[in-house]
Structure 1
Amino acid sequence: MYFLTKELYFPPVDEATPDGVLAVGGDLSIERLQLAYKSGIFPWFEDDEPILWWSPPERMVLFFEDLKVSKSMRNVLNQNKFKVTFNTAFRDVITNCKKVIRKDQPGTWITNEMVEAYCKLNEIGIAKSIEVWQEDELVGGLYGIDLGHVFCGESMFSKVSNASKIAFIYLVKHLEKNNYRILDCQVYNDHLASLGCVEIDREDFMMILNY
């Protein structure tokens, strides 16, 4: 595991620990975050921890043709109860993601410093959001890093049933239409698996990222 200094550098991803931790320290500057995502690395740490940089041995991704939309979800989409927008309320989305109480997670990994860093990335067109509205209220959404051919999903939230799934589905359709290669979902969870995401080896992910 590498300890970062002020130098703008990351070690090769295959030097990560078996759990996927590659480096500790550094900062959340625009330049370092851009380098991280382009290198297959992302930050993930708790509020009271130093910055941890990850490149897990297995990466959770979605190949667009594998998207699973249940019959009940298709019915929800057909009802047109929600309005979906792209990148119109980024700070609101990341702030809601920060506030979400998640099962088996004592706190949030989206620190105040991270909120400000990603809002700066949004201002220069690198971080983007999907918003789901119901009667002019923001009820769901997600945000991530747009690399032009790969979208790195970071977090999602839902205040009403199915809102985050709607954001996810709309994002996938948008990425597929615009010839992206994959949606990067970083690490496994059951919710992502239910939507069709699968784990691939880090080496295969890096081949796609560097294509």
Structure 2
Amino acid sequence: MPTEPDATPWDFPDPSGVPDDLVALGADLRPGTLLRAYRSGFFPMPVDGELGWWSPQRRGVLPLDGVRITRSLRKSCKQFEIRVDTAFEEVIDACADPSRDGSWIEPEIRTAYVELHRLGWAHSVEAWRDGELAGGLYGVAAGGLFAGESMFHRVRDASKVALVGLVELLDDGREERLVDVQWQTDHLETLGVVEIARVDYLARLRAALALPLPERFD
């Protein structure tokens, strides 16, 4: 069972009337602040040296019944072992590799999510092959929400296999469960990610937060 952190002194604004994806700047990365953010429909990402809080107008989500598993990906899934939370710090370090295009996970971000993991809120889903970490993803689980933060692979298809593994972990018949991937990209679209309006995301978020955590994250 996750440990509820101390409450944050920060309030997050209602993003409904804000025309931009970036809604606020400042605050901090304490566990209570991060959880308040996710429960309010926000996620953090630095902006020109400042801490930005984002709530995209068009939100990328992965329907649990909409993930696209090609024949080749199905074959790849049989070549990996899915593990949960056995190498969280290695996963976030791989995602933060500065040699990756668009790397944004700064040391302060890493420290914050490692602490959130220690408290039981942040999780890694890992694809292992031959005893080696081949790929994976990490994110935050709160109620029926899984907010994906980043993913990586060292072996072809390993990050996709981890995503399929995540869907299988979450798919317990509760349609209200919500997998948030922040923005839809061309790559994520091929896996079944769709865009929904911010207002629809916030409504689905409220329903998802009323659910219990998935068994593997509780």
In the superposition, the TM-score normalised over structure 2's length comes to 0.86
Aligned to 1:14: 16
What is the identity percentage for the equivalent residue pairs of Structure 1 and Structure 2?
40
1:91, CA displacement in angstroms? 0.8
Within the candidate set 184, 195, 200, 1:199 is matched to 195
The amino acid across from 2:152 in the alignment is F
Aligned partners of 1:135, 1:161: CA distance in 2, in Å? 14
Q: Secondary structure at the match of 2:46?
A: coil
Aligned partners of 1:33, 1:178: CA distance in 2, in Å? 28
1:45, CA displacement in angstroms? 1.7
C-alpha distance after superposition, 1:117-144 (max 9, x if no partner): 0011001111011111111111100000
Aligned to 1:3: none
Aligned partners of 1:19, 1:203: CA distance in 2, in Å? 13
State how 1:81-96 maps to structure 2 within 5 Å: 81-96=79-94
The amino acid across from 2:97 in the alignment is K
In the superposition, the TM-score normalised over structure 1's length comes to 0.89
Q: Secondary structure at the match of 1:139?
A: strand
Aligned partners of 1:9, 1:192: CA distance in 2, in Å? 31
Q: What root-mean-square deviation, in Å, do the aligned CA atoms of Structure 1 and Structure 2 show?
A: 1.6
1:8, CA displacement in angstroms? 1.4
Contact 1:44/1:51 (8 A) holds in 2: yes
1:19, CA displacement in angstroms? 3.0
Aligned to 2:159: 164
The amino acid across from 2:163 in the alignment is F
1:102, CA displacement in angstroms? 4.0
Distance change in 2, residues 1:100/1:71 (3 Å): farther
Aligned partners of 1:208, 1:176: CA distance in 2, in Å? 16
Name which of structure 1's ranges 6-15 and 160-169 shifts more when overlaid on structure 2.
6-15
Q: Is 1:138 aligned to 2:133, yes or no? A: yes
1:150, CA displacement in angstroms? 1.3
Aligned to 2:206: 210
Aligned partners of 1:120, 1:98: CA distance in 2, in Å? 16
Aligned to 1:26: 27
Aligned to 1:70: 70
Q: Is 1:186 aligned to 2:185, yes or no? A: no
The amino acid across from 1:202 in the alignment is R
In structure 1, stretches of 5+ residues that fail to align are 1-5
C-alpha distance after superposition, 1:80-107 (max 9, x if no partner): 322110111111111110016444x3xx
Q: Is 1:147 aligned to 2:142, yes or no? A: yes
Aligned partners of 2:109, 2:163: CA distance in 1, in Å? 22
Distance change in 2, residues 1:178/1:112 (3 Å): farther
C-alpha distance after superposition, 1:36-68 (max 9, x if no partner): 00000000125x510000001110001111110
Aligned to 1:60: 60
The amino acid across from 1:186 in the alignment is Q
In structure 2, stretches of 5+ residues that fail to align are 1-7, 208-218
Aligned partners of 1:130, 1:111: CA distance in 2, in Å? 21
Aligned partners of 2:95, 2:152: CA distance in 1, in Å? 5
